[in-house]
Amino acid sequence: MTATLLTGIGLLATQDDELGELTDAALLIDGDRIGWLGPAGHAPAADRRLDLGGRCVLPGFVDSHAHLVFAGDRAAEFAARMTGQAYTAGGIRSTVAATRAAADAELRANLGRLAAELHAGGVTTFECKSGYGLDVDTEQRLVRLAAERTPEVTFLGAHVVPEHTDRADYLNLVCGQMLQACAPYCRWVDVFCEQGAFDVAESRAVLRAGIAAGLAPRVHANQLTAGGGVQLAVELDAASADHCTHLSPADIDALAGSDTVATLLPLVEFSTRSPYPDARTLLDAGATIALATDCNPGSGYSTSMPLAIALAVVQMRLSPAEAVRAATVGGAKALHRTDIGRLAVGLRADLVVLDAPSYLHLAYRPGVPLVHQTWIAGQRA
């Protein structure tokens, strides 16, 4: 095992409450872990040294919400939206048709390409959902392929009811045979709780079945309407309520009084011309928030966590420090992970090196590729 000392770190923003931010710092990567970090003048010896020339180092971004196993794209749907059509859940079905028709090799290649994009943008851990198969065989294929790339795999058989299918029959399938086929590859169960997808009672049944099969819940909640998704997520102590675009004061109170993370997905609001979620009020009320990409072919086809951070700052009134925290510590909390999202001795050596002296530049220079290096478990990605 080699130890690499990163020196010349202009700003080390650890996201650790005790360590805070260090200037003129160094960090030792020992195998797949962080072996030491502190003032450059006190750095230990190492097998090799790498001078970062004053750049800023952050924990790798944790993308706790993404839909990455699918075929085809929906560029035409996007173009129609830009000339006035509203986003609805219905577009999902066209991706389902393309995905069912695709061979494993094609789905694997597409997933690999998107994972490479995520890493190039500084993401070191990502969650990946099924939900574009909507039959037992295809859903199982999707979670199996996702599990090749990440331990954070989510069963989203309850994305929408597929065409030409009886609603009650489909719910029975999702809660029964489909769940049993997928659960061995998954850690999480999710449901699209929304008008045009699943109502609260249906969503509760899906999540309870997932919990009974050993999965932990997360919810697509309050994306298009202020429905009951957030309250359901809190009721079931879900790891996260995702989207939170339309929240009532009671939803904000419920999130603030719970361990459920509010996962905000501003790339979707950007790509659907929707109002942004009220991140400021959520944070001020005491809720924990995460930022994630929600990369998917319909509502937002971007893998850029730096752009999500810039939008959160410019459009959602977060400070750059709050946005970076949501994209690191927040994402880790939304995945119930304590080994990632911060930089401290003993944690996994997942790092982003920015081609900038500070993380402020992530919002100050939107759309500019500022990720200089990404390290995952001590290896350059």
Site residues (vs ligand NIG, CB under 6 A)? 67, 91-92, 95, 192, 220, 223, 268, 294, 296-299
Q: How many residues bind Fe ion (CB under 5 A)?
A: 1
Q: Which residues contact 81 (CB under 8 A, 6 or more apart)?
A: 87, 272, 273
What distances in angstroms separate CA 155 from CA 93, 112, 143, 232, 295, one per listed residue? 17, 19, 7, 18, 16
Structure tokens at 303: 């893998």
Q: Is 278 in the site for Fe ion (CB under 5 A)?
A: no
* SS3 annotation, 173-242: HHHHHHHHHHHHHCCEEEEEECCCCECHHHHHHHHHHHHHCCCEECEEECCCCCCCHHHHHHHCCCCEEE
Instruction: Output 14 or 125, the one with its CB closest to Fe ion.
Output: 125
Q: Is 63 in the site for Fe ion (CB under 5 A)?
A: no
Instruction: Output 68 or 283, the one with its CB closest to Fe ion.
Output: 68
Among Fe ion, ligand NIG, none, partner that 330 touches (CB below 5 to 8 angstroms by kind)? none
Among Fe ion, ligand NIG, none, partner that 119 touches (CB below 5 to 8 angstroms by kind)? none
Q: How far is the CB of 299 from ligand NIG (least distance, A)?
A: 3
Instruction: Output 156 or 310, the one with its CB closest to ligand NIG.
Output: 156
Q: How far is the CB of 296 from Fe ion (least distance, A)?
A: 6
Q: Is the Cβ–Cβ distance between 70 and 107 less than 8 Å? A: yes
Burial code (b: 16+ CB inside 10 Å, e: under 16) for 313-343 equals beebebebebbbbbbbbbbbbbbbbeebbbb
Q: How far is the CB of 51 from Fe ion (least distance, A)?
A: 40
Among Fe ion, ligand NIG, none, partner that 223 touches (CB below 5 to 8 angstroms by kind)? ligand NIG
Q: Is 77 in the site for Fe ion (CB under 5 A)?
A: no
Candidate ranges 68-76, 143-151, 294-302, 342-350; the one touching Fe ion (CB under 5 A): 294-302
Instruction: Output 244 or 349, the one with its CB closest to Fe ion.
Output: 244
Q: Is 294 in the site for Fe ion (CB under 5 A)?
A: yes
Q: 3-class DSSP state for residue 68? A: coil
Q: Is the Cβ–Cβ distance between 160 and 83 less than 8 Å? A: no
Q: How many CA atoms lie within 13 A of 84 on its CB side?
A: 0
Q: How far is the CB of 160 from ligand NIG (least distance, A)?
A: 8
Q: How far is the CB of 227 from ligand NIG (least distance, A)?
A: 12
Sequence length of the chain is 381
Phi, psi of 303 (to 5 degrees): -105, 15
Phi, psi of 360 (to 5 degrees): -55, -35
Q: How far is the CB of 351 from ligand NIG (least distance, A)?
A: 28
What distances in angstroms separate CA 347 from CA 28, 34, 378, one per listed residue? 12, 6, 11
Instruction: Output 228 or 297, the one with its CB closest to ligand NIG.
Output: 297
Please tell me the distance from the alpha carbon of residue 50 to that of residue 3, in angstroms, as a whole number.
Answer: 11
Q: How far is the CB of 350 from ligand NIG (least distance, A)?
A: 25
Q: How far is the CB of 224 from ligand NIG (least distance, A)?
A: 8
Instruction: Output 190 or 251, the one with its CB closest to Fe ion.
Output: 190
Shortest-Cβ-distance residue relative to ligand NIG: 298
Instruction: Output 74 or 325, the one with its CB closest to ligand NIG.
Output: 74
Q: How many CA atoms lie within 13 A of 107 on its CB side?
A: 29
Q: Is 350 in the site for Fe ion (CB under 5 A)?
A: no
Instruction: Output 7 or 271, the one with its CB closest to ligand NIG.
Output: 271
* Residue of 236, 96, 108 whose CA lies nearest to 161: 96
Q: Is the Cβ–Cβ distance between 223 and 275 less than 8 Å? A: no
Q: How far is the CB of 240 from ligand NIG (least distance, A)?
A: 12
Among ligand NIG, Fe ion, none, partner that 92 touches (CB below 5 to 8 angstroms by kind)? ligand NIG
List residues near Fe ion by CB under 5 A. 294
